[in-house]
Amino acid sequence: MKSLLKNLTILSLAFLFIGCGSTRVVFVDTQADLVRIGPDFPAGKVYILKNGEWVLSKNKVKLPEGWYAGGIPKDD
């Protein structure tokens, strides 16, 4: 029984470390940089300008590969 528990613990930890190490995070300076959307970009809610006001979309939107995204410089 102890051997089974030990094996399950080791297996669980292995899956945890494999899962945590498989992603890469890149921070983008939204004040200066633009990014180009790559393949298989996840869908998410977006803001849409309606009658001069930014409104969050009700549904998730899939952005196509090749589109550009970035921050808009603020007037100081």
Distance CA 29, CA 16 (A): 30
Angle 49-53-57 from CA coordinates, rounded to 5° = 55
Q: What is the pTM of this model?
A: 0.47
Q: Report the chain (76 residues): mean pLDDT per 10 consecutive residues.
A: 70 61 65 80 89 93 88 65
Domain ranges of the chain: 2-70
pLDDT score recorded for residue 3: 72
pLDDT score recorded for residue 51: 94
pLDDT score recorded for residue 65: 92
Sign, CA dihedral 68-65-48-26, equals: negative
